[in-house]
Amino acid sequence: MAKVIVVGSINMDVVATADRRPRVGETVMGRNLGFFPGGKGANQAVSTARLGVPTVMVGKLGTDRFGDELYAFLSGQGVDVSHVGRTSVAPTGTAVIVVDGHGDNSIVVVSGANGLLGPSDLEGVDIEADDVLVSQFEVPLEAVGAAFSLGRTVGATTVLNPAPATPAGERLLSLVDVLVLNQLELAALSSEEPAAERDVDAIAAAATRLCVHPNQVVIVTLGAQGAVAVEGDQRLIVTGHRVNAVDTTGAGDCFVGGLATQLALGHELVDAVRFANAAAAICVQRHGAGTSMPTAEEVRRNFPVEAA
C-alpha cells in the first residue's frame, strides 16, 4: 500500500485563548492556556495517519520534556517515528498561539531542533513510486529540496505547502507536483497583492502564473469559501462548508493531510480536494492542532458525499 512521507516540523503549541488578539503594545486578559502537539509537519503526519494511510515522519526533536511528549504522541497516533531524530544542541520547536473569540489565530514559531533538519536525515528513508511526499517551510529548504529530489528520482508524488511564506527558487518549485497554499502565501510567492477572497478569477489567474511546469497543480485554500485548483488551463472550484469554527490553527495542515491521503489512495484531484475540505471543516470545530485531526470514519459520517 502506498504511504505518505512527511518531512517537516514538530512543535509544542502553547495556546492562549482570549476574546480578541492584542494590538501592538496592548495586554489583554486570556481565558485559557493549553499545550498541544503541533508543527506543520507533525500536524500533517497525524492527519494522514488518522485518515488511515501508512505515514512516516521525518523530523527532529530536542532531548527535553516537550520532545519526549511529542515523540510519544506521534507514535501513539500510528505515525512511524523511526526517522524522527533527537538532538541536545537545540530545544524542541515551540509555537506560541493566540486564538480569539472567532477562532482566528496569530502564531509565533521558535524553530529550535526543527532548524537542524538536513539532507542527512533522509538517509535510509524508503521512498517508492506510489508514495506521496509532503513538506512545508518550517524546516530548512535544503532538507525540503533534498527530499523532493529523492522523490522525483523514484517517481513519487511531491506535495509542498510553502508555509510560512518564504521565497523559493524555481529549482525547488520545479520538483513540486502539487503546491498547496493559502491566499497570503500565494501573494508572497507570486509577489502580487492578495486578491479578494471571492474573486475566484483573480485567484486562479495568480495560481496559474505561479506554475513552473505544465503538469503542476496549484491549489489555493480559501477557508470557509473552499478551494481553487488549477492545472494548465484547467480550473477546479470546490465549495467550502459553513461550520461553527472555534480554532483554525490546524485547518490548513488538515487539508494537506486529507489531500495527501486521497492522492496516495489513487483518487482523482477533484475528489481529493473535496475530501480535504471536509476534513478541514471538522478540524476547525475543535481546539488544538494535532489533536483536532479527524479520522476517515468521522469524515464519512459528517460529509458522506465528499468522502464517497
Active site residues: 253
Residue 88: CA atoms inside 13 Å, Cβ hemisphere, count? 0
C-alpha 100, offset from chain centre: 21
Check residue 262 and give left, alpha or beta (phi > 0: left; psi -120 to 50: alpha).
alpha
Long-range contacts of 223-232 (CB under 8 A, 24+ apart): 223/182, 223/197, 223/248, 223/251, 225/197, 225/198, 226/277, 227/255, 227/273, 227/276, 227/277, 228/200, 228/203, 228/204, 229/269, 229/270, 229/273, 230/204, 231/269
Instruction: Answer whether 200's CB lies under 8 Å from 221's CB.
Output: no
* Helix 40-50 with 251-264: angle, nearest 10 deg: 50
Residue carrying C-alpha cell 464517497: 308
